[in-house]
Amino acid sequence: MTDNLYFESAVALAARLRAREVTATEVAETFLRRIDDENPRLNAFVTVTHDLALEIAARCDAAAASGHFLGPLHGVPIAIKDLGEDRVGVRSTQGSLPLKDYVSKTTSIFIQRLEDAGAVIVGKTNAPEFGHKGVTDNFVSGPTRNPFDTTRNSGGSSGGAAAAVAGGLVPLAQGTDGGGSIRIPASWCGLYGLKPSAGRIADIARPNAFITSSPYSSVGPLARSVADSALMLSTMAGPHPRDPISLPALASPLTEIAGDGLRGKRVGFSADLGGFPIDPKVAAVVEQSLEALERAGAIVEFVDVTLPADQFELAQLWGRLMGLLYSDSVAGYFEQGYDILGKHLDELTPVFRDILVAAQTRTAIEARKDEHLRSAVYDAIEDAFTGYDFLASPTLAITAVKNREDGLTTGPSEIGGVAVDPSIGWCLTYPFNFTGHPAASLPAGLSDGLPVGLQLIGQRHQDAPLLAASAAFERESPWLTWPQFSGAPRV
C-alpha cells in the first residue's frame, strides 16, 4: 500500500480487489487511517464508522475467499452524506443541533444498493443544516475546509463528500442535489459532480412521498473521474415502487460510456444563464474551457437564456420551495419526538430558521403561484435547448469563499455590484432543480489556484449521453493530471 492508493481511481481499485491483489480489509484499514490523519485538517467527516467498515470489508473478503464477489463496488470505500441518507444504526445529524445525537432507524434504498454492491461505508460527511445553503458549515460540526486551500470552504451542501474525495480520504462519495448540492462542491473542489435526472435513483420518502419533486432533489455521485462516477451511479440507479417519481430502468448500463460523446453534438453556451453576475476571472476560465469541447468535436455556440424573472427573485423562489420541503422533513422528525419548530427553534441556524418559519404561513394559493413561476423557468430552459444537444454555463459565479468559525459561513451578498442571495444566488445550478434535467459540473481549470467548474446540462432523462459528453471533455481537459490528484506532496 502506497500513498498513491488514496488517489487511485475507483474503477482501478475495484479491479485490483477483484483480482485479489489487495483485500477489502487492507483497503478499508488504509483509508480509515487516512481519514483519522486528514479529517482534523479538512473536517469532511462528521462520523467515522470504523467498526461498520471493517465488518463490511470482512464480509467482502469472506465472499472473495469462496470465489464470489458482492458486486461492482466490492471492497471499495465510500462515504455517505449526513443529510437524510440513512444507514441503520449510524448517527445522522442533518447538520442540526436538535438532531446531533439522532441515530438512523432505517437504511435508504440507494445506500442499501451500494452496500449490496460491495461498497464499504467508512462514514458520514458534513453538510449545512438541512442543506439550506451552498456552503458546508453548521453548529454541530463547523465548516468543511477545501483541500485546495483550507482557509476556504468546500461548497455545499455535499461539501464534506467533495472534500473527502478531493483530499483522497475516499475514492467515491454519495451526495444529494436539491439546488446544486453536488455540482457546487464539485466545482470548488475540482471534481466531477453529477446530478442525475430527477427520479433516476429511487428515494423513498415519508410522510410525503413526493418531497423530492419540488424542487427536484436527486441523489448522485462525487468522484474524481467520469468513469468512477458512472460506476457508482450505476449501482444506485433504478426505480422502486414506493417512489412515485422514480424512472424506469435504462436498457443499457450507465457504465457503458459512448466513446464519441461530443462528436458532432451542438452545445449552446450561456455565459451568465440569463442574468447571473459572474466574477470575470471565473468567466475567463470557463470560456477557455470551451476549447476542450470543440477539440472533442462539439459545435459550440453562444445562446441566450431568457429567464422569466431576475436571478435574485428566482433564488427567493428556490428558498420558498425548499421551505416546504424542510417542513415535511421536520414533520417526520416531530413524529419521532423531535419538536424542532417548538422547543428547539432557537437552536437552528438563523437563515434556515427564517425559511422554515416562513413556510408555516404560506397558503396553498401562494405555493401554486410559485409553481407557475417554476413552470416558466422550465419553458425558458426548454426554449434554450432548441437546436442543441447540451447546454453549458459556469457552474458558479465565484471561487471558494473564506470560512468563518461561528457556523455562519455563506456566499457573497453581491458580485460586481449586483445583489445576490448569499445562500444560493451565486450558483447557476438551482434552475435545473426546478426542471429536473441531468446536469454535471466538470473541472474547467484554476483561477488563482482555486478550481472553477463548467456546468454541462443534458436533455431530459438523457443521463447516458451526458456521461458520454463529460468523458469526451475529460479526455481533452485531463484534470486528473493536477498535482492534487496524483498523491504529490501538498505545498
DSSP string, 275-303: T----HHHHHHHHHHHHHHHHTT-EEEE-
* Mean pLDDT on 268-292: 98
Residue carrying the nine cell digits 442543506: 131
Look at residue 47 and tell me whether its pLDDT is greater than 70: yes
pLDDT digits (tens, 9 = 90+) for 312-337: 999 999 999 999 999 999 999 999 99
pLDDT digits (tens, 9 = 90+) for 170-226: 999 999 999 999 999 999 999 999 999 999 999 999 889 999 999 999 999 999 999
Predicted pLDDT of residue 223: 98
Say if 294 falls within a structural domain. yes
C-beta of residue 233 within 8 angstroms of C-beta of residue 214: no
Predicted pLDDT of residue 2: 55
Residue 222 to residue 491: CA distance in whole angstroms = 24
CA 128 from centre of chain: 13
Look at residue 491 and tell me whether its pLDDT is greater than 50: no
Residue 113, classed as helix, strand or coil, is helix
CA atoms within 13 A of residue 164's CA, in its CB half-sphere: 37
Residue 471 to residue 214: CA distance in whole angstroms = 30
Show which residues are catalytic: 81, 157, 181
C-beta of residue 243 within 8 angstroms of C-beta of residue 203: yes
List Cβ neighbours of 421 (8 Å cut-off, separation of 6 or more). 312, 315, 316, 319, 413
Confidence of residue 487 (pLDDT cuts 50, 70, 90): low
Task: Name the grid cell of 38.
Answer: 486528514
Say if 125 falls within a structural domain. yes
Predicted pLDDT of residue 486: 61
First to last CA, the chain: 23
Predicted pLDDT of residue 480: 75
Residue 285 to residue 100: CA distance in whole angstroms = 40
C-beta of residue 145 within 8 angstroms of C-beta of residue 154: yes
Residue 162 to residue 126: CA distance in whole angstroms = 10
Residue 367 to residue 422: CA distance in whole angstroms = 23
Q: How many domains does the chain have?
A: 1
Look at residue 485 and tell me whether its pLDDT is greater than 90: no
Predicted pLDDT of residue 402: 98
Residue span of the structural domain in which 340 resides: 3-485
Predicted pLDDT of residue 207: 87
C-beta of residue 144 within 8 angstroms of C-beta of residue 173: no
Residue 192 to residue 183: CA distance in whole angstroms = 8
Q: What count of other Cβ atoms lies within 10 Å of the Cβ of residue 2?
A: 8
Residue 218 to residue 287: CA distance in whole angstroms = 28
Task: Name the grid cell of 430.
Answer: 438551482
Say if 107 falls within a structural domain. yes
Residue 74, classed as helix, strand or coil, is coil
Residue 250 to residue 169: CA distance in whole angstroms = 31
- Inter-helix orientation angle 226-236/463-476, to 10°: 160
Say if 325 falls within a structural domain. yes
Residue 358 to residue 108: CA distance in whole angstroms = 29
Task: Name the grid cell of 444.
Answer: 474547467
Strand partners, 443: 453
pLDDT digits (tens, 9 = 90+) for 234-261: 999 999 999 999 999 999 999 999 999 9
Amino acid at 248: P
Predicted pLDDT of residue 478: 81
Confidence of residue 1 (pLDDT cuts 50, 70, 90): low
Peptide bond into 147 cis (omega under 30): no
Strand partners, 402: 152
Predicted pLDDT of residue 84: 86
Q: Which of 249, 243, 221, 235 is nearest to 162 (CA)?
A: 221
pLDDT digits (tens, 9 = 90+) for 285-315: 999 999 999 999 999 999 999 999 999 999 9
Residue 187 to residue 58: CA distance in whole angstroms = 35
Residue 370 to residue 319: CA distance in whole angstroms = 11
Residue 105 to residue 382: CA distance in whole angstroms = 41
pLDDT digits (tens, 9 = 90+) for 65-120: 999 999 999 999 999 999 989 999 999 999 999 999 999 999 999 999 999 999 99
Residue carrying the nine cell digits 418559519: 357
Say if 490 falls within a structural domain. no
138 phi and psi angles, rounded to 5 deg: -160, 175
pLDDT digits (tens, 9 = 90+) for 363-421: 999 999 999 999 999 999 999 999 999 999 999 999 999 999 999 999 999 999 999 99
Which CATH number covers residue 292? 3.90.1300.10
Residue 166 to residue 153: CA distance in whole angstroms = 13
